[in-house]
Amino acid sequence: EVQLVQSGAEVRKPGESLKISCQGSGYYFPNSWIAWVRQMPGKGLEWMGIIYPDDSDARYSPSFEGQVTISADKSINTAYLQWSSLKASDTAMYFCARRVQAGYGSELFDPWGQGTLVIVSS
């Protein structure tokens, strides 16, 4: 079974750093892009960025460029999303998802991790 398992919920203070993880299993992890998606409380889905674990090529949405860093360690089938200085507005659920290229230009995000809740509060 193809699966992405994310790290657990985190509570941090503004200004603190944080790194959350997403571990893949059931497929060859290095060869599939992993995307990160933010969902603020009661809001919709926002694509943040994506990484190719084999060479750590990372691309970012302009809205998140410079705000977060996406990395990966293919030796342990894990992708990461990190902040150097959290803000209260970073409070959200964060999902990772595997990008699947289905042929003829079609693609999909499948599967998704279960989500990591990040709460930033003083």
Partner 1 sequence: EIVMTQSPATLSVSPGESATLSCRASHSIGSNLAWYQQRPGQAPRVLIYGASTRATGIPARFSGSGSGTEFTLSISSLQSEDFAIYYCQHYNHWPTWTFGQGTKVEIK
Interface with partner 1 (CB under 8 A): 35, 37, 44-47, 50, 59, 61, 95, 97, 102, 104-115
Q: Are 94 and 84 in contact (CB under 8 A)?
A: no
Query: Which run of H or E residues covers position 81?
Result: strand 78-83
Q: How far is the CB of 57 from partner 1 (least distance, A)?
A: 10
| Residue 41, both tokens | 């409380």
Q: Which residues contact 30 (CB under 8 A, 6 or more apart)?
A: 53, 54, 74
Q: How far is the CB of 28 from partner 1 (least distance, A)?
A: 18
| Residue 27 amino acid letter | Y
Q: Which is nearer to partner 1, 62 or 75 (CB)?
A: 62
Q: Which is nearer to partner 1, 29 or 109 (CB)?
A: 109
Q: How far is the CB of 81 from partner 1 (least distance, A)?
A: 15
